[in-house]
Each structure stands twice: as structure tokens, then as C-alpha cells.
Structure 1
Amino acid sequence: MKRILVPTDFSNHAEYALKVAAQIAKKNDGEIFLIHMLELPTTGADALSRSHEMPELMLFKNIAVNKLDELMHSDYLAEVQVTKIIQFELAFDGIVKSAETHNADLIVMGSHGANGFQEMFIGSNTEKVVRNADIPVLVIKREEPNFNADKFVFASDFSDEAKKPFEKAFSFAKEFGSKLHLVNINTPNNFKSTIVAEETMEQFLEGVDTTDITTHIYNDVNVEKGILHFSKSIDADIIGMSTHGRKGLAHFFNGSISEDLVNHAKRPVITFKI
């Protein structure tokens, strides 16, 4: 993962993500694309074409340029190639488009999470990027001075559609030298006997080098709590999940476990699009 996109709003959580991205870039001889989004007014279809006529926008742009320059001179970015980007666009939409434009293979974002009313009706830009990005999204929730992925939990239902994101997670684990802990969360509403669960995982892993892989079955009241509790029980460094990228009413009614984890987990979470 050599081309890393890092969105920033200049908050502490965004800088936590940038510091982690710097560590990853140094280990992998990678580069960082540091992007700040200036959201345009939504009134008028020609807002972008008239942006040069909006003094307040140009003022905000100049402020952003100065802040980006300050960030780029941070000690932790020494010896890392960093390209600064400022775009006039809706934040989450611009981040996803910029990742495609710059051929990024990883997005690293900070998040303080969301709860209750805000989580249901507003959500976070991080959650929206997780839902829409085609490349892996690594979400950082706190300062990680020595980021590593030694103990990597990947939760799955081990269905056929989970094979593609698993391949991405497996590749990530190889690149970071991770011990991969595959976990099947058993819940009262979707219970499998141990024998059935073990057989499902064995079939899923046919043909895969399992040298650095262990499998686990963990019982809990729901999948999200099961992942969080299991990760805590082994002191995991990072949690991985696949995401369906549900939108509209389907997302509202079905939700997304990966997005819930992004909001609620304290550990880093990385998502892989199905």
C-alpha cells in the first residue's frame, strides 16, 4: 500500500490518521496525498464556476493552504513524499473521487465516532467513505504512536461473497506481517453449531496458506458486540470487516456492521468493499 490518501479537517483525530499514514508510508516506501475539502454552497448549479467570485471561499482556501503547509513540515512527515490537495466539493464525495483520480490503494481517516441521533440521521464523513470507497479504508480513533497490525482480527460470515474482501484482507496481513485471526460470531438469531461453523471455515480456506491464520468461533448477543469483545479478549491491534456499501433505504433499514464498528470501536478498523 504505497499510495495513501489522507483527508484532513485539521482536527486532532485527522492528525492521528496522518501520523499513522506516515508510519505506513515509511515502512512501505509510499507516498501520501493530503487532501482538504472546501464544501461549496449548495445554492446555484454554477457554484463551482463562480467560486473565484466568492471572497470568503478564497479566504478559506488560503487559510487551508497555510495549514496544509504547516502540516507538511511536521517532524513525523520527514522523508515522506506528500502532495497537498484542496478541492471544492462535498467532503465524502470528493474524497472517494480523489482516491480514484490519484490511484490510491488505501484511505486513512480519523474519526471520533458518532452516537444516537447524530449517528442515525447525520452520520460522519468517515462512515460515508467507508460505505462508498472501492479501496480499503483504515479508520483511526486515537493516537497510535507505534501503529502495527500484528494481531489482525477479520470477522466474516465465510460466505462466497466474503471471499473477495478476504483476499484483500489476506494481502494486507501478508504486507504487514500480521497474524490473522478469523472469527465467526455466533448469535442467537443466526446460530450455528461448532461442527457446522468449523466446516464452513475449513471450506472457505481451502487452497489458502493458513500458516499465519487461526480460526475462532465466538458467541455473543449480536455480531458487533461479538467482534468488539473478541478483539478485546486477544488484545487485537486492528479489526477488519467487509462492507456491502448499502445506500438509501436499504442502508437505513439493514444498517452496516462495519459502519457501526467504525463509530464504536476504539481500535483501528479497516474495511474492504465487497
Structure 2
Amino acid sequence: MFKHILIPVDGSELSLRAAKVGIEQAKLTQGKVTALHVISPFRTISYMGTILAATEFAYNEEAKANAERYIEQVKMLADAAGVPFEGVAEFGDEPYDTIVQTCKARQADLIVMGSNGWRGMTRLLLGSETHKVLLRADVPVLVCH
């Protein structure tokens, strides 16, 4: 069945619930899990470079610390279940693309993720990362609500 499960996490309660489901599935199939947090790059305006460089450094450090915290939450769940675990944090402009590319690169055979973080008009305008993954992934995607 599924031997390597990719679990994208964003720190939300929904992604943590999805992580629990992914870990349970890995335990049933004696597989392993990889937790992935995609960090959006710092966006800048080209002028005022000196000020923005300091701000970008602070942003990157805080984003990495958040990623470590989110991944550590999943690691604790995997360790408690006795499931082999790996955690990855990647910078990426488009989270869905980073998820799909990481899945391919790490040869995962299932993606387990939360339904979405956006609601209402924002979802209509920006779309759902989960929906984009569903359309582009070459492996099954288990969506958790």
C-alpha cells in the first residue's frame, strides 16, 4: 500500500489533524512520513535596499523558526506512533508546486493534507493550495477536513 506519505503542514489545527491521519495511515502500512512546510519568500520593493535587507533577514529567521516548530509537532506525533519521520522546510513561491515537486523528489506515494486555510472571497480570488495539489499531483491526495 502506501509506504511514504508526504504531509504538508502550515501550523494550523487543520494541518495538524491531517498529520495525525497521515501518521495513522503510515503506521497501518508500516510506512514512513515526511512533513513539509513551505516558506513563502520575502517580497520586497527594489528601493530602500538597506532597510529591506535587514527586514528580509529577520523574516527568514522567523519563518525558519516557525517551520521548525510546525515540523517538530508532527515529529512528536510520529515518534509517539513509532513511525519513521523526516522533516523538510523549503522556500517556494507557489506552495502547491513545492509540495508536488517535493513529493516527486522524495518518491512519496501519498499526500495527506488539510482541505484549505482560505475562506469566502479570499478563496475565490486566490484559490486553494489543496485544490491545486489535487490537480497536479501524480499520486493520490487524501484531503482531511
State the TM-score, normalizing by the size of structure 2.
0.81
2:100 is paired with a residue of what secondary structure? helix
Gaps of 5+ in 2: 46-52
Displaced runs of 4 or more, over 4 A: 112-116
Q: What's the CA shift string for 1:145-185, capped at 9, x where partnerless? A: xxxxxxxxxxxxxxxxxxxxxxxxxxxxxxxxxxxxxxxxx
Contact 1:6/1:35, CA 8 A, preserved across alignment:
yes
Name the CA distance, whole Å, in 2 between partners of 1:76 and 1:84.
12
Gap regions ≥5 residues in structure 1: 45-49, 142-274
Matches within 5 A, 1:98-177: 98-112=102-116, 117-141=121-145
- The structure that has the greater radius of gyration is 1
Aligned length: 134
Q: Which has the higher contact order (CA 8 A, sep 6+)?
A: 2
Separation in 2, partners of 1:134, 1:43:
34
Q: Hey, what's the Cα distance between the residues in 1 that align with 2:15 and 2:84?
A: 18
Q: Hey, what's the Cα distance between the residues in 2 that align with 1:75 and 1:135?
A: 22
Distance 2:43 2:138 in 1: 26
Judged with a 3 Å threshold, the aligned counterparts in structure 2 of structure 1 residues 63 and 117 are, in CA distance, closer, same or farther, namely closer
Match of 1:23 in 2: 24
Q: 2:82 aligns with which of 79, 82, 87?
A: 79
Label 1:115 to 1:23 Cα distance change in 2 as closer, same or farther (>3 A): same
Confirm or deny: 8 A CA contact 2:18 2:114 kept in the other structure: yes
Q: Whole-Å Cα distance in 2 between the matches of residues 82 and 135 of structure 1?
A: 20
Asked if the contact 2:6–2:108 (Cα under 8 Å) also holds between the matched residues in 1, the reply is yes
Shift of 1:63: 2.9
Once superposed, what is the RMSD of the aligned Cα atoms?
2.3
In the TM superposition, what is the alpha-carbon distance from 1:138 to its structure 2 partner?
0.7
Distance in 2 (CA, whole Å) between partners of 1:54 and 1:115 is 31
Match of 1:97 among 97, 101, 117: 101
Closer, same or farther in 2 for the Cα pair 1:15/1:70, shift >3 Å?
closer
Contact in 2 for aligned 1:22/1:77 (Cα 8 Å): no
**Distance (Å, rounded) in 2 between the aligned partners of 1:7 and 1:77:** 19
Q: What whole-Å deviation, never above 9, does each CA across 1:197-245 have from its counterpart, x for those lacking one?
A: xxxxxxxxxxxxxxxxxxxxxxxxxxxxxxxxxxxxxxxxxxxxxxxxx
